[in-house]
Amino acid sequence: MAANISIDNDDSIFVSSTNNYTSQNPQPIITTLQQGNFRSLLRFRIDASDSTLASHLSTASKAATYISKTTQNELIEICGNFIREHIINEIKHAKFFTVIGDKTTDVSNIEQFTFCLRYVFEDKVQEKFISFLPAEDRTGEDLARLILEELTNLGLDPNFMVGQAYDGCSAMSGQFNESITFYEAYLPSPSSIQEEFKLYQRKWLNEAPADRPNNAIDAYIKCNGIFFPNIKVLLQIYATLPVTTATGERSFSTLKLVKSYLRSTMSESRLNGLAMMRIEIEFVERAGYLDLRVSLPPDLA
């Protein structure tokens, strides 16, 4: 597979090839190699006078070059897990979340269930892709078990799952009725909810219409949690409830891009790692770099 390496005015590297990854504004091609993207980037670094890398590849034993597909898969998995852990920490801080799910068949005829979560963090509604889960059994009971197992693996409490949304998954109807606690159990002072609501309603009736909140997240932001603790929690739950399953459907575009017919034997861990990095590219760009040392196994740290 040919990989074309080019460089722009800011010394940013662009890699384009026949594997559907293209740069938007490529500059004149510097070199073309028949070694794949990863090895092409290594050669580019050596040609750019990276003496440390050149020395390592020329002197290290064949079993210690760390450029094999096994090492690539480990690094991809580590990057994906790093981003996922960041999202899970946000969800734990938010406390309440909802599940958004959908199913599709990939190029290998594997039924993939896209697992996404919606929550409120830093006064903003977030909908994040978490993973693709192979769904061998399509019954509602087995899909419910699959979701609960994934929540357990992520360290999330299913009791704080306040809603769910599935596109066309009628089999999921009623599967979590016993898992979702009635919202009253989340309130700090449920006995005073009626009086609190009357005060809250009176507060906004005295405000000008232009100053009143327009939507759930706006109402949540403007609600004073000290004076209206129950209302604050209910508004957060209301903003957390899913409206559409668009996030799950968008993840299928990434699935088709990453797992094409040329990569039909890709493992689930590699698929999820690449998908996470592709979908959360804004997080990677915002972070500037990923400090992966905390996630590296001892032999690679």
Structure-block tokens of residue 291: 């400090």
pLDDT band at 289 (very low <50, low <70, confident <90, very high): low
Greater model confidence, 178 or 77: 77
The CA angle 128-178-187, to the nearest 5 degrees, is 70
Res. 301: pLDDT tops 60: no
Greater model confidence, 191 or 94: 94
Res. 179: pLDDT tops 80: no
Written as one string, the DSSP assignment of 181-206 is --GGGG-S-GGGHHHHHHHHHHHHHT
- pTM: predicted TM-score of the whole model, two decimal places: 0.77
Res. 290: pLDDT tops 60: no
Euclidean distance between CA atoms 100 and 223, whole angstroms: 27
pLDDT digits over 216-256, tens only? 999 999 999 999 999 999 999 999 999 889 999 999 999 99
Parallel/antiparallel/unpaired status of strands 111-121 and 97-105: antiparallel
Greater model confidence, 215 or 28: 215
pLDDT digits over 48-91, tens only? 888 999 999 899 888 888 888 888 889 889 889 999 999 999 99
Euclidean distance between CA atoms 275 and 253, whole angstroms: 10
Q: What is the pLDDT of residue 75?
A: 86
pLDDT digits over 134-157, tens only? 987 767 788 889 999 999 999 999
Backbone torsion region of residue 168, taken as left when φ is above 0, otherwise alpha when ψ lies between -120 and 50, otherwise beta: left
Q: Considering Cα of 39, then 7, then 15, then 269, what sign does the dihedral take?
A: positive
Q: Where are the domains of the chain?
A: 3-67, 71-182+242-294
Q: Which of 218, 232, 260 is nearest to 123 (CA)?
A: 218
Written as one string, the DSSP assignment of 23-42 is -SS--SEEEEESSHHHHHHH
Euclidean distance between CA atoms 32 and 10, whole angstroms: 20
CB 190 within 8 A of CB 184: yes
* Mean pLDDT computed over every residue of the chain: 81
Structure-block tokens of residue 139: 């019954």
**What's the mean pLDDT in 123-128?**
95
